[in-house]
């Protein structure tokens, strides 16, 4: 029986070696199989599926930051790191997320309006440049200012978009928070609370929006990264759900 083989011809292409009569069809089959294997090996490995996008999320997010003397400078710096880690996957802009910071101190103050930092790089620099105010922990006064700014076009807030308040605290306040916090929630604001101190569980759970297991977190300041993803997802889901509603 005649043995068949393939070799590269000097003129280009393959030729059948040892071919006898009736071997042309077999040579075609072997050559076709070779081309198929060559093509299959050369294919690129499929890329992994992209992570879920946080774009198309339109809402105003206000960060209520404890900037009083009850917070150490180390704790304040760790909270700033946490805020940026929480925010940076979002898309910022007039049709996406806009954010601002209000300082809790003797006299509350707004760090920047909602419509000032509409890119991730600009917001990162703004958060990094935020300075602690010191003073008393007048959270009630800061909440009253938040109620005003969250619905103020002069502060860059937008009408008819979901409103979210994230309060980062060491768990204590020198004035009453119950009334201004309830007014905010009555106006449709969703309240998340992160306590880096012991605090009062009953007071804070009453202040946070329900359910408390997704809207209230107690965590040491060095362990804030543990809750970052969960909190970000919860904020994103609230904004999207309220937007659809």
Phi, then psi, of 233 in degrees rounded to 5: -60, -40
Q: Return the pLDDT at 32.
A: 56
Looking at residue 79, its pLDDT comes to 96
Contact in structure between 179 and 194 (CB atoms under 8 Å): no
Residue 18 has what pLDDT?
52
Q: Please state, in angstroms and rounded to a whole number, the distance separating the CA atoms of residues 5 and 19.
A: 8
Per-residue confidence (pLDDT) for residue 45, from 0 to 100:
38
Gap between the Cα atoms of 207 and 226, Å rounded:
22
Report the alpha-carbon angle 103-111-178, nearest 5: 30
| Cα gap 65→134, rounded to integer Å | 11
Q: Record the tokens describing residue 195, joined without a space.
A: 């306590």
> Are 44 and 147 within 8 A, CB to CB?
no
SS3 136: coil
Give, for all 245 residues of the chain, the pLDDT tens digit. 445 454 555 545 545 455 454 555 555 544 555 455 454 444 443 444 434 445 558 999 999 999 999 999 999 999 999 999 999 999 999 999 999 999 999 999 999 999 999 999 999 999 999 999 999 999 999 999 999 999 999 999 999 899 999 999 987 888 999 999 999 999 999 999 999 987 788 889 999 999 998 999 999 999 999 999 999 999 999 998 876 65
Residue 162, both tokens: 């979901």
Q: What pLDDT does 50 receive?
A: 38
Which domains are seen in the chain, by residue range?
A: 59-242 (3.40.50.410)
């Amino acid at each position: 029986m005649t043995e068949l083989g393939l070799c590269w011809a000097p003129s280009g292409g393959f030729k059948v070696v040892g071919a006898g009569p009736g071997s042309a069809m077999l040579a075609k089959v072997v050559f076709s199989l070779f081309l198929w294997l060559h093509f299959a090996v050369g294919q690129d490995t499929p890329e992994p599926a992209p992570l879920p996008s946080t774009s198309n999320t339109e809402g105003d997010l206000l960060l209520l930051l404890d900037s009083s003397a009850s917070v150490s400078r180390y704790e304040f710096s760790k909270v700033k790191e946490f805020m940026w880690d929480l925010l940076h996957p979002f898309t910022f802009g007039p049709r996406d997320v806009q954010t601002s910071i209000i300082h809790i101190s003797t006299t509350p103050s707004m760090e920047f309006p909602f419509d000032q930092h509409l890119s991730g790089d600009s917001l990162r620099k703004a958060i990094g440049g935020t300075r602690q105010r010191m003073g008393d922990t007048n959270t009630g006064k800061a909440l009253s200012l938040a109620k005003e700014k969250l619905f103020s076009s002069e502060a860059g807030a937008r009408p008819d978009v979901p409103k979210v308040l994230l309060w980062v605290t060491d768990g204590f306040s020198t004035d009453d928070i119950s009334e201004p916090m309830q007014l905010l929630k009555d106006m449709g604001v969703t309240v998340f609370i992160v306590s880096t101190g012991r605090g009062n569980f009953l007071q804070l759970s009453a202040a946070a929006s329900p359910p408390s297991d997704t809207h209230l977190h107690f965590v040491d300041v060095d362990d804030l990264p543990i809750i970052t993803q969960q909190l970000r997802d919860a904020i994103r889901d609230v904004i999207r759900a309220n937007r659809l509603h």
